[in-house]
């Protein structure tokens, strides 16, 4: 009898995974962490095929979580992409369609109800540590007025600096902490602030939004990463982000929070390929940032939530940063706004490894204008553009691609499938009609 007793004591301690389990969940509502890169391409992580950039922590995050292989940002450019993530709406619905400059009069519209506002109302502690880029010329545009309890970071892109622009501030809360901060210390700073925030708020549900300054040019790796990557400075800054993700996962483990926290890693748009070796790689996709070819918006996605998201799972159904808005609000038991159109879908089913029943069309916006639509495997381009100046199909439009069999958009099938061209054009027409009947918050004048 004594020996049996010992077995019963030992087994629970070792099962199921050998990791320490918290005795009671700290909270019912899951914590949410969004790690958001700037200009990281689909092909720039080890687990997404890069031959020389080393990303062991993100690869482990994918191996122990879910890898999204058809994940999209809401826009091929900075500000609009962040707008989409935080509002769950196609940026065009606000009239917010591209990149704000430091002196822009525009900012996030006061009528928007951000993910942070929703989670704050649901009892979450909310922190933003990194690049904002949703307006700076009015206090109302800054994070603290848009749902965040804490903020530190650059208010816009790290290349918006002298001589073209005035000096860039590092903002803390609503105040300037420092002008022209040392950019080599930003990833470490954001990471440390996020970790402090997690430790401080571990008894509450919390939301951490960590929009890195990197790998946007100019590339500024931290001291211990500079010169370490085979891939050069671009690899250095990606490997530093990988380190940062590893530190975040480590604190979740140490604090016993991992099983009650969804961590989602992705990028705001594709790689800035016109920057040559200073820009990243879209892998097998065509083009990059600033374009509605796949390379511009098809980005890596990784969800990590031990015990909820199955280890080693892969989701190849389309999903986007817009969906994170709706999904995170639902996970928090929060309502989805009904007084405006929300484009994000709840992807809890995908996180649980189930199929999504009906696939909504996905619209690709370039600067202001709708360029393309995807439904199921089919993508129709009605306009195309590229920062490289290349015209890949010599002005031939519309173009139709099957992204399942031809993810690189190499073989135009418009002539073979006029019925699909027509159906997708109808989707576009319905969508544009809706934009007229529900006009954007702003005039589309950027």
Binding site for a second copy (CB under 8 A): 2-3, 6-7, 10, 14, 42-43, 46-52, 54, 56, 59-60, 63, 67, 69-70, 230-232, 234-235, 276-277, 281-284, 298, 312, 314, 316, 377, 402-408, 410-411
String of DSSP letters for 234-267: HHHHHHHHHHHHHHHHHHHHHTT-GGGEEEEEEE
Q: What is the nearest approach in angstroms of a second copy to the Cβ of residue 373? A: 18
- Using DSSP's 3-state secondary structure scheme, residue 408 falls into coil
Active site residue 133: yes
Nearer residue to a second copy within complex by CB, 60 or 375: 60
> What gap in Å lies between CA 48 and CA 361, rounded to an integer?
25
3-state secondary structure of 303: strand
Q: What is the spatial distance between Cα 19 and Cα 13, in angstroms, rounded to a whole number?
A: 9
Helix (H) or strand (E) holding 32: strand 31-37
Tell me the two tokens of residue 161.
């600096």
| CA end-to-end span of the chain | 77
DSSP, collapsed to helix, strand or coil, labels residue 279 as coil
Closest contact distance (angstroms) between CB of 16 and a second copy is 11
Q: Which is nearer to a second copy, 63 or 428 (CB)?
A: 63
Which alpha helices (H) appear in 103-214, and where do they start and end?
115-121, 186-200
Judged by beta carbon, residue 18 or residue 395, the one nearer a second copy is 18
CB of residue 52 vs a second copy: minimum separation in angstroms?
5
Q: How far is the CB of 258 from a second copy (least distance, A)?
A: 18
Nearer residue to a second copy within complex by CB, 230 or 341: 230
Q: How far is the CB of 214 from a second copy (least distance, A)?
A: 16
Q: Which of 50, 57, 109, 133 is catalytic?
A: 133
Nearer to a second copy, 51 or 162 (CB): 51
> Is residue 57 flagged as an active site residue?
no
Catalytic annotation, pick one of 78, 128, 315, 328: 78
Which two structure tokens, joined as six digits, stand for 144? 């603290």
Distance of CA 324 to CAs 32, 36, 206, 329, Å?
Answer: 10, 12, 15, 8
Q: Tell me the longest C-alpha to C-alpha distance in the chain.
A: 82
Residues annotated as catalytic are: 78, 133
């Amino acid at each position: 009898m004594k020996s049996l007793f010992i077995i019963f004591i030992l087994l629970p301690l070792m099962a199921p995974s050998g990791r320490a389990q918290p005795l009671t969940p700290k909270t019912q509502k899951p914590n949410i962490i969004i790690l958001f890169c700037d200009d990281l391409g689909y092909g720039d992580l080890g687990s997404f095929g890069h031959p020389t950039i080393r990303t062991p922590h993100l690869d482990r995050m994918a191996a122990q979580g879910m890898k999204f292989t058809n994940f999209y940002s809401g826009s091929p450019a900075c500000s609009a992409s962040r707008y989409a993530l935080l509002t769950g709406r196609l940026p065009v619905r606000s009239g917010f369609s591209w990149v704000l400059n430091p002196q822009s009069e525009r900012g996030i519209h006061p009528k928007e109800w951000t993910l942070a506002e929703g989670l704050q109302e649901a009892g979450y502690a909310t922190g933003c540590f990194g690049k904002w880029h949703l307006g700076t010329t009015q206090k109302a545009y800054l994070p603290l007025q848009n749902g965040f309890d804490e903020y530190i970071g650059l208010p816009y892109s790290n290349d918006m600096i002298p001589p073209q622009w005035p000096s860039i501030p590092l903002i803390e809360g609503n105040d300037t902490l420092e002008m022209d901060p040392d950019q080599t210390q930003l990833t470490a700073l954001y990471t440390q602030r996020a970790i402090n925030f997690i430790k401080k708020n571990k008894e509450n549900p919390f939301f951490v939004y960590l929009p890195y300054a990197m790998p946007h040019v100019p590339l500024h790796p931290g001291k211990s990463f500079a010169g370490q990557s085979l891939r050069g400075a671009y690899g250095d800054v990606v490997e530093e982000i990988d380190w940062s993700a590893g530190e975040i996962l480590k604190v979740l483990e140490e604090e016993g929070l991992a099983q009650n926290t969804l961590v989602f890693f992705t990028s705001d748009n594709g790689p800035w390929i016109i920057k040559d070796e200073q820009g990243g790689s879209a892998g097998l996709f065509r083009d990059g940032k600033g374009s509605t070819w796949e390379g511009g918006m098809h980005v890596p996605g990784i969800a990590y939530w031990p015990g909820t998201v199955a280890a080693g799972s892969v989701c190849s159904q389309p999903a986007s940063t817009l969906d994170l808005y709706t999904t995170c609000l639902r996970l928090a038991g929060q309502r989805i706004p009904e007084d405006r159109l929300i484009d994000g879908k709840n992807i809890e089913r995908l996180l649980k490894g189930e199929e999504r029943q009906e696939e909504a069309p996905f619209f690709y916006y370039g600067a202001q204008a709708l360029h393309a639509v995807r439904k199921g495997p089919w993508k129709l381009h009605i306009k195309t553009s590229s920062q490289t100046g290349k015209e890949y199909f010599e002005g031939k439009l519309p173009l139709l691609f099957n992204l399942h069999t031809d993810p690189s958009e190499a073989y135009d099938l418009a002539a073979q499938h006029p019925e699909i061209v027509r159906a997708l054009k109808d989707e576009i027409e319905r969508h544009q009609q809706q934009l007229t009947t529900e006009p954007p918050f702003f005039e589309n004048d950027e």
